[in-house]
Amino acid sequence: MITITEKKNCNGCHACASICPQDCITMESDYEGFWYPKINMQNCVACDLCEKICPIIYKVQIENEPQAYACYNIDESVRMESSSGGLFTLIAEQVIHNNGVVFGARFLKNFTVVHCYIEEKEELRRLRGSKYVQSKIGETYKQARVFLKQGRQVLFSGTPCQIGGLKAYLKQDYANLTCIDIICHGVPSLKVWQKYVSYQENRAGATIQSIAFRRKDEGWKRFSISLSFKNEMEYVQTHDKDLYMQAFLKNICLRPSCYACNFKTLHRQSDITLADFWGIRDILPEMDDDKGTSLAIINSVGGKSMFNRIKYQITYKEVDINKAVSYNSSATKSVERNPKREKFFKEIDEIPFDKLVNKYCSDSIMMRINKRTRCMAHMMLKRLTRVAFTQSNGS
């Protein structure tokens, strides 16, 4: 049977709970707000299926030659509603058009995040956009297998570890399955997210009715988190100033497995990897209008076929994959564990959310000075590079 001796060795993918023939494994939250398997020993028949399909215990090595593209949806309305370039919507529409099923993450009424499936284009808005919370897989691996065996086309989107869990659970390849993963920074605690939601609702004096993590009012690079409340109040703040996003980007509230992720590689199990193309300004400035540009990495023949089906609906250009991911280190490298993480979680139930984040996530005066100095030096270097390039072309 599966045993979690170190929490960094479990990504909460639900594969073990999904495969159990006795339904004796449940996923339960620990005090930090992360799911781990719990076995009902009275019902366990010691079949060891849970251990045999664990994507961390049995790692899969992929041998492929991925291709990378800078791209964005030519439909600007969809692009502006999407986290980056709006490619997921196009791929999902292709699948639904062929009577397929699309799996992805959505908010529930209480703004927890779960995986679900949709079959209509009108429902795509539920899955569109980033959700910086770990989504609960629930029964979706089982549901996907039912649709696949029926011969229906299935698109399953998720984090790399969720795709790894799905592939391990299915135990075979399906020609009618397309998987999309993302370049993942890490998954934050549901408990921290719920604390943030309660904090914002108390400040507004009303419950939240809608959330958007990636508003582009101030541009794609300075995206904002937006909360709309039932009393018609609205909160909009850029990601660098929002308390929740500060905790997320400071790596203080991520799952233990995220600091030693087994899925950091350019050779992935998914067919397509989607991400923000943060280096677009330097690599392809003509494709940088600050409305969102996607980095699409094609990992398989099936992924290439799908990409070819949407080509006429996007602006795209092939790029060097190594240059592209050099601006997004999360593609191949786990984030560093925040040294204050344990103290943060120890006090999460003791002090108000804003004081907790300000206490453990605020930069010191020295750090702020260093950041400002590095920023000024970077800007000066870019100016000097432009001058040298101009003089070289003029001579």
Name the token pair of 17.
Answer: 């709970």
Question: If pLDDT is split at 50, 70 and 90, which confidence band does 365 have?
Answer: very low
Helix (H, G, I), strand (E, B) or coil at 331: helix
Lookup: tokens for 249:
């980007």
CB 262 within 8 Å of CB 59: yes
pLDDT at 372: 54
Distance CA(265)–CA(195), nearest Å, equals 33
Joined tokens for residue 87: 């490619």
Q: Dump pLDDT digits (tens) for 167-209.
A: 999 999 999 999 999 999 999 999 999 999 999 999 999 999 9
Domains present along the chain, CATH in parentheses: 7-52 (3.30.70), 64-362 (no CATH)
Q: Give the C-alpha separation, 111 to 363, whole Å.
A: 29
Overall pTM surpassing 0.75 (yes/no):
yes
Q: Is the pLDDT of residue 376 over 90?
A: no
Average pLDDT over residues 349-365: 88
- Strand arrangement of the beta sheet that strand 224-229 belongs to: 208-215, 224-229, 234-238
Task: For residues 111-136, give the mean pLDDT.
Answer: 93
Q: How many helices (H) and strands (E) does the chain have?
A: 14, 13
The model's confidence at residue 1, banded by pLDDT at 50, 70 and 90, is: confident
For 37-50, what is the mean pLDDT?
Answer: 92
Beta pairing, strands 272-276 & 177-182 = parallel
Q: Are 33 and 254 in contact (CB under 8 A)?
A: no
Q: Does residue 3 register a pLDDT over 90?
A: no
* pLDDT tens, position by position, 145-167: 999 999 999 999 999 999 999 99
Mean pLDDT, the chain, rounded, equals 91
Average pLDDT over residues 330-349: 96
Phi-psi region of 203 (alpha: psi -120 to 50; beta: other; left: phi over 0): alpha
Q: What residues have CB less than 8 Å from 284, skipping those under 6 apart?
A: 70, 317, 319
Place of tokens 């292709």: 94
Which letter does DSSP use for residue 221 in this model? T
pLDDT above 60 (res 281): yes
Decide: 4 and 255 in contact? Cβ < 8 Å: no
CA-nearest of 268, 289, 306 to 176 is: 306
Give the amino acid at 43.
N
Contact between residue 189 and residue 31 where contact means Cβ atoms under 8 Å apart: no
The amino acid at 265: T
pLDDT given for residue 204 in this prediction:
97
Beta-strand (E) ranges in the chain? 25-29, 35-39, 67-73, 101-107, 113-118, 154-157, 177-182, 208-215, 224-229, 234-238, 272-276, 294-298, 314-319
Residue with tokens 């509603």: 81
The mean pLDDT value for 304-319 works out to 97
Average pLDDT over residues 300-316: 97
Bridge-based pairing state of the strands 154-157 and 113-118: unpaired
